[in-house]
Amino acid sequence: MGPIGPILSDLFRIAARPPAHYNRLMPATPHLIVVCALIERGGLVLAAQRPAGKAQALLWEFPGGKIEPGEAPEAALLREIREELHVEIAVGERLPDAFHDYGKFAITLVPFVAGLLDGVEPHAAEHAALRWCAPEELRALDWAPADVPIVEHYLALRGGSAIPL
């Protein structure tokens, strides 16, 4: 094998066995911070259905989107709702954040209760459908997993009984 053989053998042995600190070297699962709005009007709350062909296709969610670097959550919510629904909102109470790990990425949802400002009907620019729901109708929708704890917390706040998660 010659003098280089043992060196190559050692290199292949070392390369085949990950070092103890391997997990620290691997890139972390992407973690997205996303704002969402529980837009209320006349005792109803707006739900938005994700479009076909995207992750979580046709599941229901509360409208919103990613927070840009350096952007305040409230500012991100105003921007995202303007882009997605073509309406202006008043941002109200912040609800507890919800975390969900989808495997390929994780998401923290930062929810706010909100109201329409301009009286204009929301337009589904980026969703398959929009639906105004009475609180007791929310559980009947097929929600994206990250939104489920938000639905339950909202119902608990509004006097409905939350289902233990």
Q: In this predicted structure, what is the pLDDT of residue 104?
A: 92
CA 125 and chain centroid, separation:
18
Residue spans of the domains in the chain: they are 4-157
Given a contact cutoff of 8 angstroms between Cβ atoms, the answer to whether 153 and 129 are in contact is no
Q: What are phi and psi of 105, to 5 degrees?
A: -155, 160
β-strands 106-116, 31-41 pairing:
parallel
The token duo for 13 is: 């042995």
The token duo for 28 is: 């972390």
CATH code for the structural domain at 4-157: 3.90.79.10
Residue-wise pLDDT for 102-148, tens only, equals 999 999 999 999 999 988 899 999 999 999 999 999 999 999 999 99
pTM, full prediction: 0.79
Q: In this predicted structure, what is the pLDDT of residue 18?
A: 45
Residue ranges in the chain modelled with pLDDT below 50: 1, 7-19, 21-23, 25-26, 161-165
